[in-house]
Structures are given as structure tokens and as C-alpha cells.
Amino acid sequence: MLLFKSLAQKATASRSLFLNSSFSIRNSSTMFPENKLRFIPTSGTYPLGFFAGSLCCGIKKTLRNDLTFIYSSTPCTASAAFTKNLVKAAPVTFDKSLLDNVKASGTPTIRAVVVNSGVANAVTGIVGMANCEKMANAADKLMELCDKDSKNPIVSSSSSSLNKTLVMSTGVIGQQLPIEKIVSGISNLQGKLGSDHEHWFQAALGFMTTDTFPKIITKRLQLPSGKGSFNLCGIAKGAGMIHPNMATLLSSVFTDASISQAALDNALSYAVDLSFNSITVDGDTSTNDTITVLANGQASTSTGNKWEIQLENDPDFDFFKTSLAEFLKELAILVVRDGEGATKFIEINVTNAGSTEDAKKIAKSIANSPLVKTAFYGQDANWGRILCATGYSYPSSFNPDTVCLYLVPKDGSPQLPLLVNGQPIPFDEARASEILKPEDISILIDLGISKHSATVYTCDLSHEYVNINGSYRS
Amino acid sequence: MLLFKSLAQKATASRSLFLNSSFSIRNSSTMFPENKLRFIPTSGTYPLGFFAGSLCCGIKKTLRNDLTFIYSSTPCTASAAFTKNLVKAAPVTFDKSLLDNVKASGTPTIRAVVVNSGVANAVTGIVGMANCEKMANAADKLMELCDKDSKNPIVSSSSSSLNKTLVMSTGVIGQQLPIEKIVSGISNLQGKLGSDHEHWFQAALGFMTTDTFPKIITKRLQLPSGKGSFNLCGIAKGAGMIHPNMATLLSSVFTDASISQAALDNALSYAVDLSFNSITVDGDTSTNDTITVLANGQASTSTGNKWEIQLENDPDFDFFKTSLAEFLKELAILVVRDGEGATKFIEINVTNAGSTEDAKKIAKSIANSPLVKTAFYGQDANWGRILCATGYSYPSSFNPDTVCLYLVPKDGSPQLPLLVNGQPIPFDEARASEILKPEDISILIDLGISKHSATVYTCDLSHEYVNINGSYRS
């Protein structure tokens, strides 16, 4: 508790600092909710060789950061996962094709991501695709200028004609980007990019739409082989249309680890399944869901000992994969904590299911039920709704007579059984209310069939959700 | 408009009447919303040979009708459809088994339905099953007494030991029925059953939970063969946990038509698909969804000309099937109009899809999207959310470049195109707001692929929905 208080104070101090710094573009209106300050870091261990910056170029009606650019001084191994929605935003199509071409060329050339918030560039036809290219071209040009300005200019390893920047957009669907504002905004970022915490923090602010706080985390990890260590930085945004079917609406991870293309692709796919694909705010799978990972290898090249994580026969790979999954889970949880109108963070654990697929299907069905979500909002142990949502998720194995249902207090005190072997258990309503009072709630559904399990994270459905979404465009 | 006003006045007058009648059990607190009065009939053409009644036996905390009994003076051909939720309430299991046994016996013996509201008798184990039997036994006993009291006692056509009454329950999941109250409530109905509009109206009141008005409709129909005519009466209840996967949470239809078992089963299955299975309030498929149809044939036996509708080679069958579908659709629409917290009634038409299944899948996905529902609540033409929900419904055929999207004004004025062949169309926001202002809203999604279509009915997601469901049990 003391720690949180101190962090919160630091965050406040840190924000005041930004307001006076040269690149803090009229963020004086930025106020984060008191109970979220503990999730806003005041420092970080950032990956080597990356430079970040953000500004307000005038896409959003409010004067908040809406354009972020992050680049590596050297080419990166790049991997990404995209929405499975059949309606795909232009940047999704653009990035997918760019990454395919880069992989086909056999030479890693991607170095940057450029992100705008406010307009999603989704359902924008040919103009939308052309605007992606304009954004990527402007970003590539900025990077060239930055390379020239650099004290240690790095000779590009490739003369490829492919773009070097991945493009991401988030915001309202069906509107064209104000592309002139964005292109001139990108060029205005020259001289404003850096590798300090403040630069990264501003970059995270530029990802936000209806988010109430920026989501940015970092981690420094030691390879188990002892070959070296590396840094991870992840940024994400929520806060509505969140039911990722590949990744949430925009997340970017940057690392100075050295890793092969095959290993990075495999690790990302594994990690996304356990993190972003295990959260839901409203059951709406966005048209723009994108997560990118850029690995520039500078943690290896900056030392005498060169290393590269490989997919096969490399004990470091399992470590990287598991660490990335844990890291993305932490980031995904922040997205849920900031779900539109959320007052509760709810962990739904399904155990002893017939298959992992069944367990996840049940957990997601519960997580998306408006009746379950409103019951949690009302701090009401209305477990019938949970069981009902279990039943209509139609798992392949289900036995009503072996289902158990518990409230799991987050303070470590004993679980409160509500249903045991399909039979309702008379329970202490006062105790249930006590367990449902804190922000963090956990429930356990034990199917009693086999040994498979899954965890899904979600939030409640509040009056504020209706406020936000009843008037989002206006 | 004048008509509605007059109907409303009639409904008010009619309610005053009930308050003074002997069987109006403390319904003085019953007030229906002004804008729903036009859906409350003040008279009806009820099927011959059925008798209805309702009272408050003390299940609900408020003093409203919570126990309804409707019986036929002669055995009926009976058919029913039930929830597909894997968690099935005790009455669902009870009725399904009873109907199977009746069908196996080859002799129609069902004569009645008994319905309680307030407690759903779901997830109640062995006690719950025993309570179903107690309810059915009490109802059968009441019916025997009524038969003896009758001026024209009908000799039962069967000495079957099977129950003659179908049981339905609706309300909170996981609580046991107050069975003593219910059993004595059933016996208290003796002498209070009748066939007037007032009796049926009270019966419909007894179905209600969070419904704001009773749902009861009647129709008199002439067989195209000229053999005769018959009457239909339908009662339904909403208003949450409505995403029927077979039928809504409790609906009963009574008819004096004479129809074979095979023909009735076939007609019900057809009609349910086009009506109750095409509506959704919150995407939550209940544990109790049940629709029953009882056909006593008295429209035929009461005349000299005996007739019975047959499944094969009978032109009257198609007429009956289509009429039943239209009738159930009317009833289902009332359930949507009274969706929890609903301020809008929304018709979602999907046309030119690759298959009927695709069309329905898309329409349901749009109907269940919290983002779409809140946008309609806010009267916001945020069509990107509609297209997004189309994309993540994953139809088997979809082409983003042929999709068109229109707002369809209910006053017959021209449609407002928002998206044509995948391209956003600049539209008049003021005109869109005008179209989205009335209670009734209609949208059209033309996929431009093949010739299949579907219509789904839903309501919006309002602050009131959160009010209701944040504190349902308390």
C-alpha cells in the first residue's frame, strides 16, 4: 500500500515534469483516475537502440497525443498477429502484405512503427490503402533524416525498396485519415525522438483513445544459458471493441533480444494465445486488432558475446516464449483493467474441463454475458447467470452433476463454494458481498470432467460503459 | 394515433375493472408504461374449451400474480420446444419426459399448463424435479375438481397414469420453489377459472418477471379449404436472458384447432425458427426457454363438420404453419419491445447472403453487439460498429467490396445509404438522427453475394438495463 502511494506520487510528479517539457504537447487536460495511478510506471528498462516520440497533430478533437513513432537504429526481426475479423482495416492489410514481402525477401528490413489514434482507417477503400503508404513513406523519410543526424550513423543493411515502417491506426471506423495533418505531424517529430522514459511514456499516450491511462510496461531478463540479457518494452491500448481474435486493438512490443524469424513468430503466436486472446471487454472483435514485435538484437551486438535465440534445440527459446507470454499477459490485463466503464477486474478460471478449447469457450461465454457482467457491477453473487452462460457455450463435454462453482477471495482466505457437484450450497450472502467488493474478483468453475483449464480476464458492465458508447462519435 | 389513444384509455379502464374484480389479487401496484399501453389488448377471440386463471401465492416479493393455470376441458394434441442450454431447468426436463411418454402411449392426454414466476426451479437437483411433479399433481387434482363442477362433465378419454399438466417456471436460478405456497395456491384457484378476456389477461400477468407489460395476443383464422375456422391465443414473457435457442423463456399457445401430432410438431418447429429463434435481448440463452402449444380440437368438434389438419397432402397445413409463424413472430416482437431497459425496437435485415444460415448469423452478431446496441441507444449512426459485428460473425461467404448498409425509415421515406459496395457514403447526419429518433428502427445489410436473407429483432442497451441487472436478486 505504501509502495502504491509512493508510486502514485511519483507518477504525479512525473506528469508535472512532462507538462513543462518541450515535447509535452498540451497534455494539461490529461488526468488519470486515482485508482489507476499504481499501473503507470515512472521509470523503465528500455531496449537498446530504439527511439520514441509522440505529439498531437490534430486528429483528435481534444489536444492529446494522437501520433506516435518508434524506430530502431538497426533493422529488426519483425513478427505480428492481426484481427481475424473479415472486415480488416487498411493498416492490417498493409502490414500483413509488407511483412509477407519482407519474409519472402529473406532480409529483415523493418525498423519502425507509426501509430495514430482518433481514426481507425477501417472501411476506407482505396484511399485508405494509399494513406497507409503515405504514412509509411513519411515515417521512412523521417528515419532517414534521423540516421543522418545520428552521431553514429548506421549503414542500412539493405537497399530494399520495401517500406521499413509498420502502420497502425485506431479510432472511429469509416472515416478517412486527415492524411496531410499526419504526414506533417510525422516530419514535426524530427528532433523530438529519444530513448528516455519520458519519450516512451509520451509514445504510450499517443496510443490512447477511450483509455483512461497509458499502458506501458518494461522488463529486463537474463537468458538461462547465461549468454546474455535483454530488455522488453510493451505498449497497448484498449478500451472498447475488445475481444481480440489474434491481438487487441493495437499493441507493440520492442526488444533488443537477438532472435531468429522462426523463433519470434512461434513465440508470438504462443504468447498471444495466452494473453490478448484470453481477454474480453465487450465481445466485439475489432477490425484493427494488431500486435507487432520488433527485435533489433542490439542486446547481443552491443556486447562482445554474440548470441541469437533459435527455434530448435535452444533452451533459451522456451524461456523467451514463456517470458513473452507472461509479459503480454501483464499488458493485456492492463487493457482489461481499463475496459470502457470498468469498475471490476474479473478473473475467470475454468478447470478440469474435457479440453483446453472447452475451458476457454466456457470462460469466454461467462466473460461476455451481459447478465454476468452487470451482476458483478452490482456486487451480486448471482451464480445462476454464471452457470447459465456455461451451459449455452455448448462445450463438447459437460456434466451438470459434476460442476462446482466458487468465489475466490483475492486475500488468500478460503474459497466460498456456491455450487458443489451441481447442487446449490446455502452460502453466507454477507461473506459473498465482502468478496465481491474489491476491484479484483476471481471465480472458479470446476467442471470435474478431465484435466484441462483456461483463464480469461474481463471487466464488468457499468452505467459508464453505456455513457461512453451511447455517444462515442459525438 | 387516435386509435392508440383510445386503446390506451380502454386498457386503463380495463385495468380499473380488474382491480375491483374478485380474482384481481392486489394488482393495484401494476402500472404499465404509457408507450406500451397500445400493445395491451382489451378483448380477444379466445379458443373454445380453455379456462384460465391466476393469483398471487406469495413467490414474488411484490404482491403480483405469480401463479397461472390454463386448462382445456378435453385432452389436447401437445407440442413443445425447449432451450438447448446444457444447463436445463427441472421443468424443462420434466415436460420433455412427460411429452415423450405421452407420444409413446399414442393417446393425447395433456390438458393444461401451470406456470409460476419468481423462481426458475433451475439448478435445483432432485428436490427441483420432485417439486415439478408436486406442481403437476396439484394441477391435475384441481382439474379433476373442475371437471366434477362442470355442468357438462367430460369423461376423460384415457385412464393414463401420466400427468395431464405441463409445468413451467421462470425467475431466479438456483433457488428452490416455495412448493407449499404453490400447491395451496393451485387449490385456491378453484372457482376462479374462466374463459373471459379478464381471466386470460390475469393469466398473462402471472407469467411476468421483469416484464413491464403482459404479452397476450389472439387471432381468429379461417381454413383455406373452407372446412372451418379456429382461434389462437398466445402468452409470452421476457424480458432478460433472452436469446432463445428453441424458444423464449416461457410462451404458451392455446388453440381450438384440430390437428394431428405430426402436423403440430412440424408447424411448431417451423414457426419457432422464424419467431422466437430470431430475437435477442442480451445474447443470454436461458436455462428455462420453453414454448408449448395445446390444441384441443374443439373448433372442429363443436360443429357438425369434423376436420383435422394433417401433415401430408393437406392444403390447410401450409396455412396453419405460416399462420402460426406469423402469430409467434408477433408474440416474439412483444418480448423484444419489452427487453430489459429497452428504449428502441430494432429490426435487422440481412439480404443477399450466401445462405440463410449466414444471413441469420450476421444479423444475430449485430443484434448482440454491445457497441451496436449502445450506439442505437445514443441514436448515433455509428455504422462502423455494425460492419465490424458483421465481420466477426465469420459467415462462410463474405466480400467487403459488395456490402451495402442502409438506415430504413419506418415512415416509408427513402432509405439512407451509409455504405455502398464497401465504400463509405457521406451522409446527412441530421437526417440520420431523425431516422434514429423514433422507437422503431430498421437497418438493412445487403451482402451482394447470393439471394438468401434473414431478419432478427432486438432492442438497445440502456442505462436502465444496467440498473435492472446490477440488482436483480435484491
Listing DSSP states for B198-267 in one string gives HHHHHHHHTT-SS-SS-EEEEEEEE-TTSS-EEEEEEEE--SSS---SSS-S-EEEEE---B-HHHHHHH
Q: Give the C-alpha separation, A186 to A179, whole Å.
A: 10
CATH superfamily of B345-469: ArgJ beta chain, C-terminal domain (3.10.20.340)
Residue of A nearest to B285 (CA): A392
Q: Is the pLDDT assigned to residue A409 strictly greater than 50?
A: yes
As a whole number of angstroms, the distance between CA B163 and CA B250 comes to 20
Q: Kind of pairing, strands B404-407 and B345-353? A: unpaired
Q: Do A173 and B387 touch (CB under 8 A)?
A: yes
Phi, psi of A171 (to 5 degrees): 145, -145
**Annotated binding-site residue? B469:** yes
Average pLDDT over residues A123-142: 95
DSSP alpha helices (H): ranges in B1-124? 2-20, 90-105
Judged by phi (left if over 0) then psi (alpha if -120 to 50, else beta), residue B251 lies in beta
The residues, ordered by sequence, that sit 6+ positions from A337 with a Cβ below 8 Å of its Cβ are A36, A39, A345, A459
What's the CA gap between A429 and A355, in Å, rounded? 33
Instruction: Catalytic residue, from B248, B255, B351, B390: name it.
Output: B248
CB B284 within 8 A of CB A388: yes
Catalytic residues of A: 248
Q: Determine the distance in angstroms separating the CA of B460 from the nearest CA of chain A, rounded to an integer.
A: 10
Domain range list for chain B:
2-337, 345-469
A240 contacts B380? CB cut-off 8 A: no
Contact check, Cβ <8 Å, B86/A380: no
Distance of CA A352 to the CA centre of its chain: 29
Residue with cell 519474409: A103
- Which range among A75-84, A218-227, B22-31, B131-140 has the greatest average pLDDT? B131-140
Question: Average pLDDT of each block of 10 consecutive residues along chain B (474 residues)?
Answer: 35 36 37 87 94 94 91 94 86 95 93 93 91 97 92 61 94 90 97 95 91 91 91 85 59 91 93 83 74 90 87 93 92 86 93 95 92 92 89 90 94 94 90 94 96 93 87 54
Answer for the pair A407, A432: CB distance below 8 angstroms, yes or no. Answer: yes
Cβ-Cβ contacts under 8 Å, B85 against chain A: 388, 391-392
Rounded to 5°, the CA angle A472-B388-B390 comes to 135
Distance of CA B108 to the CA centre of its chain: 24
Contact of B75 with B114, CB cutoff 8 Å: no
Closest of A289, A284, A218, A238 to residue A44, by C-alpha: A218
- Per CATH, domain B2-337 is 3.90.1150.10: no
* B419 close to B400: Cβ distance less than 8 angstroms: no
CB of A462 within 8 A of CB of A366?
A: no
Q: Which of A85, A392, A463 sits opposite B245 (nearest CB)?
A: A392
> Which of chain B's residues have a Cβ under 8 Å away from the Cβ of A282?
369-371
Nearest CA in chain A to B128: A423
Residue of B nearest to A377 (CA): B470
What single-letter DSSP state applies at residue B69?
A: E
Contact A52, A68 (CB under 8 A): yes
Q: Are B466 and A465 within 8 A, CB to CB?
A: yes
Average pLDDT over residues A133-139: 98
Handedness of CA B189, B190, B195, B197 (dihedral sign): negative
> Nearest residue of A to residue B281 by CA position?
A370
Burial of A430 (0-12, 13-18, 19+ CB in 10 A): exposed
Compute how many other C-beta atoms are within 10 angstroms of the C-beta atom of residue B294.
28
Residues of A in contact with B241 (CB under 8 A): 371, 385, 388
CB–CB of B67/B169 below 8 Å?
Answer: no
| % of residues, chain A, pLDDT over 70 | 89
Question: Could you tell me which of B312, B302, B193 has the C-alpha nearest to residue B257?
Answer: B302
Report chain A's mean pLDDT, rounded to a whole number.
86
Contact assessment for residue B346 and residue B441, using Cβ atoms and an 8 Å cutoff: yes
Beta strand pairing call for B165-172 and B215-222 = unpaired
User: How many angstroms separate the most distant Cα atoms in chain B?
Assistant: 72
Residue with cell 444475430: B364
Q: How far apart are CA B40 and CA B7, in angstroms?
A: 8
Q: Are strands A345-353 and A440-446 parallel, antiparallel or unpaired?
A: parallel
Using an 8 Å CB-CB cutoff, list chain A residues near B243. Answer: 392
Which chain A residues have a beta carbon less than 8 Å from that of B240?
A: 371
Give residue B410's identity as a one-letter amino acid code: K
Q: Name the strand (E) or helix (H) holding A293.
A: strand A290-295
Grid cell at residue B425 = 457514403
User: Which has the closest alpha carbon to A354: A394, A319, A294, A387?
Assistant: A394
Q: Which stretch of DSSP H or E encloses residue B168?
A: strand B165-172
Inspect the interface and report whether the beta carbons of A424 and B125 lie closer than 8 Å: yes
Coil/strand/helix, residue A54: strand
Cα–Cα distance measured from residue B29 to residue B153, given in angstroms and rounded to the nearest whole number: 38
Best residue in B288, B362, B466, B467 to probe A by mutation, most A CBs within 10 Å? B466
Class level of CATH domain A38-337: alpha beta
Q: Check residue A232 and give its pLDDT.
A: 94
Q: Looking at the complex, report in whole angstroms how far the Cα of residue A25 sits from the nearest Cα belonging to chain B.
A: 30
- C-alpha distances in Å from residue A428, one per residue of A373, A421, B122, B392: 21, 19, 20, 41
Asked if residues A248 and A291 have their Cβ atoms less than 8 Å apart, the reply is yes
Residue carrying C-alpha cell 404453490:
B182
Beta strands in A126-164, from DSSP E residues, in sequence order = none
- pLDDT value, residue A100: 95
Does residue A420 carry a pLDDT above 70?
Answer: yes
Q: Are A13 and A193 in contact (CB under 8 A)?
A: no
Within A73-228, strands assigned E span: 77-82, 112-119, 165-172, 215-222
Which whole number is the average pLDDT over A146-152? 81
pLDDT at A9: 40
CA distances from B62 to B56, B66, B179, B182 (A): 9, 10, 18, 16
Nearest CB to B466 within list A377, A422, A474? A377
Does the CA dihedral B23-B28-B33-B34 come out positive or negative? positive
pLDDT band at A86 (very low <50, low <70, confident <90, very high): confident
Rg (alpha carbons) of chain B, rounded to whole number: 23
Nearest CA in chain A to B395: A86
> Which residues in chain B touch residue A388, judged by CB atoms under 8 angstroms apart?
85, 87, 122, 173, 241, 284-287
Residues 6+ apart with CB under 8 A from B388: A85, A87, A122, A173, A241, A284, A285, A286, A287, B369, B371
Nearest Cα of chain B lies from the Cα of A50 at a distance, in angstroms, of 34
Q: Which residues contact B313 (CB under 8 A, 6 or more apart)?
A: none
Closest Cα partner for B86 from A426, A361, A281, A351?
A: A361
Quick: pLDDT tens for A344-378: 999 999 999 999 999 999 999 999 998 899 999 99
Residue A240 has pLDDT above 80, yes or no: no
